[in-house]
Chain A
C-alpha cells in the first residue's frame, strides 16, 4: 500500500545573511503527529513559514498532499492551517466573529462553520468569552483564539510553531487534547516546541533540525536506539545539537 504524504519537502533552501534552511528534505505522513525540534535559530520557523506560504523559498520543492505548494499555493493553503507563537488576531473582533471570518475565508458552509466555531470555542474553554472583543484577552486567550481559527475550517494539515507558549497548564492540556483528537480523526499535525516532554508524549515521529538541516528523525524508540535505551529525549537532543554544532 502506498503511504500518503501530508508534506514532502525536497532540497528546501532559504538564506538570509547566512543559510537558515540548507537543502532540507522532510517527509510527514498523513495522519501523524510530527514534532520538529531544534535549538534557537536552527531554521524550524523559517521552514514552516515557507511551507505555510508566508515566506518564498530560495530553492527546493514543497508538496502538500501531492499539491505543489509553490505552483498552486491557493490549493495547498486550502488544506492547511498555521498558528505561530505570537497570536496575530484582530483586537476589534470577538472570537465568534473571528472564527466566522476565518471559516468564510476558507469557504466553509455557513451552518457548518457556526457549529464548528462553537465546538472549537467550547473545546478551548472560550465559550464564555465568545462575544467579547479580543483586545482585552490575555496572551494565552489570544493564543487559544488563534488556535481555534486554525481548527475551525477543518484543515488536513495543521502547522503549529510553539503553540503552547503563554498557555497555563489547564489551557495547555486542553490544546494538547484537542490536537490529539484531531490526529485521531485523521488530521496531520506538525509542531515545533521547546518543551521536549510534549514531543516525547504526543509525537508519532520527531525530527531534529540543526543549522537548517535535518540531523535526526524517527519515533522516540528509534531515536533512543541511537543514544542508548536509557537516554531521555533531552539527553538525545543535547547530544545531537552538540555533535552537529561542532560539525557545522
Chain B
C-alpha cells in the first residue's frame, strides 16, 4: 500500500532541497557567505546591463511587424538560447537519473515514487527556467526600458522555452537510456548536451566562415540568402518571435506548448521513470568493468603518478561535458584557419587568442582535478615521496594534456608562419601554466566529484583564472597585431597573477 503524501508537501520538500543546493553552489558550502554572494550577484547583474544595452538596445524600438531579416536574427537568437537551455536541462536530468543521494530512503518508503520523481523533474524545469530568467533578465530589462512594457512578454517566452527544453531533455534522456542502457547513457547524454549547447552557434560560425569569411555568427542570419530562404511573415515558424514582441496569442500558445509538452512527457515517462532512475543510480554506484588493465606495471614512482592522473581523468564521468564544449568552440577558429590559409596574417590574429583562452580554461579545470581533487589524500601523503615531487608529477600531467590537445591546432601555423606559431605556442604555454599555478596557489582538499562546484569554492581563484586566460589571449593577439602595446597587456596579466599569488591561501600564510 502506498501512502499518499500531499503534493504541496512534496513540492515544498523538493524546493527546499533545490534551494539549499543552490545556496551551497553560491556560497561554496558556507551559508554565512550568502549575503555577500547575493550582493555580488546583484552587482554582476547590474553590470551585465551594459553589454546587454550594446547587444539588444537597437532592437528595443522594433515594430511589432519587423522585416524578414530582423525576424531571422531574432529567431536565431531564440534558438541559441533554447539550445543552451536544452543542453543544461539534459545535464540536469542526467544528474538526477544518476544521483543516489536519498534514493534508498525514497524507494524504501511507502509513497508513490512516480509522484516524487515527477516533482523532482518539475524542480529541474523550474531551475532551468530560473537560471535562464536570471541570465536573460538584463537583456529584457534593456528592451523594456528602451522599448516599453510590451517587452515584458520576453520573460514569458523564456519560461516557455525552459519548460519545453526540460520536456525535451526528459524525453531525450529516457530514449537514450533505452537505446544505450544505464552504463553508456551518462557519457552519451553528456556528449549530446555539449553538442546541442554548442552546435547551433558553431554551425552559424562555420557557415559564416565558409560563406562570408568571418567568424561572426550573425553573418549568416543577416544575409540576403537567409531572408530569401525564410518562410513568409505569416508562418507559424515566427510565433516565438511574435510572442517576444508582445503578441498575446503567440505567447499563450508558446506557454501552453511548454506546459502541455512537459505534462505529456512526464505522464508518458512517469510509469517507468522510477525504474530508470533506480537502474541508473545503481549503475552509478556499482559500475563494474572487467579488464586486465596492466596500467601500472613496471612504472617508476613518477610515471605511476602520471599514469594514475591520466587514468582518472580519462575515467571521470563528468569531465567530458565540462571540457567538450570548450573544445567544440575551437572548431570554428580551426575552420577559419583552414579557410584563411592564403591570408594567414589576419587569420592568426583572430584565431590565436581563441586558442590561448581555451588552453587557459582547460588547464584550470584539469589542474583542479589533479591538484585539489585527490581522492586518496592519505595514501599520497604517506607515500615515500616528497610533496614537491608529487605536485610536479600532477602539474606535468596537466601540461602534457594541454600540449597534446593544442599541438594539432598550433603546428599547422608553423607551415605558413613560424613566428606566429611561436606566439600561439607561447600563449598556450603561458595560459596553461598560469591557470595551473592559480590552482596550485588556491589548492584545497576536495573530492573529484565536487568538480562541478570548483568555481564556487574560491571565486578569487575563478576570477584570477579567467583574467589570466583573457590577459594572455589579449597579449598574444596584440603581439601579432600591435606589438607596441603587447608588453603592457603582458605586464597587466603578470600583475593579476602576482595579486592572485599574494591573496591565495599559500601566499597569506
Contact = CB atoms under 8 A, between A and B. Distances in A.
Most A Cβ at <10 Å: residue of B284, B289, B308: B308
B316 A92 contact: yes
A180 interface: no
Contact of B384 (A78, A100, A103): A78
B315 interface: yes
Contacts of A135: 284-287
Given A74-B385, A78-B384, A84 B287 contact: no
A82 interface: yes
Contact size class for B? 35 or more
B296 A75 contact: no
Contacts of A53: 381-382
Contact size class for A? 35 or more
B288 interface: yes
Interface string B378-407: 111111111000000000000000000000
B139 to A, nearest CB: 41
Contacts of A131: 289-293
Contact of A104 (B289, B299, B379, B386): B299
A110 B297 contact: yes
B379 A102 contact: yes
A78 B294 CA distance: 24
Contacts of B287: 133, 135-136
A133 B288 contact: yes
Contact of A132 (B288, B383, B384): B288
A74 B300 CA distance: 16
A74 B385 CA distance: 6
Contacts of B228: none
Interface string A155-175: 000000000000000000000
Given A54-B382, A74-B385, A132 B296 contact: no
A212 interface: no
B298 interface: yes
A52 B474 CA distance: 47
Contact of A136 (B288, B295, B384): B288
B371 to A, nearest CB: 15
A93 B303 CA distance: 16
A217 interface: no
Contacts of A96: 293
B301 A104 contact: yes
A114 B298 CA distance: 10
A84 B379 CA distance: 10
B256 to A, nearest CB: 44
B426 interface: no
A52 B382 contact: yes
Contact of B378 (A88, A132, A136): A88
A105 B381 CA distance: 11
A230 to B, nearest CB: 41
B292 A101 contact: no
Given A92-B311, A93-B312, A105-B305, A54 B290 contact: no
Contacts of B294: 100
B304 interface: yes
A80 to B, nearest CB: 7
Nearest to B389: A74
B424 to A, nearest CB: 33
Given A135-B287, A136-B285, A89 B375 contact: yes
A77 interface: yes
A91 interface: yes
A20 B4 CA distance: 51
B44 interface: no
A91 B375 contact: yes
Nearest to B302: A104
B384 A97 contact: no
Contacts of B379: 82, 88-89, 102, 105, 149
B63 interface: no
A7 B453 CA distance: 42
B39 interface: no
Contacts of B286: 135-136
Contacts of B291: 94, 131
Contact of B383 (A89, A91, A106, A129): A106
Contacts of A82: 378-379, 382
A54 B301 contact: no
Most B Cβ at <10 Å: residue of A80, A84, A89, A133: A133
A93 B287 CA distance: 11
Interface of B: 284-301, 303-305, 307-308, 311-312, 315-316, 375-386
12 contacts: A74-B384, A75-B384, A84-B378, A88-B379, A91-B375, A97-B293, A100-B297, A101-B295, A104-B303, A131-B291, A133-B287, A136-B286
Interface of A: 52-54, 74-75, 77-78, 80-82, 84, 88-94, 96-97, 100-107, 110, 114, 129, 131-133, 135-136, 149
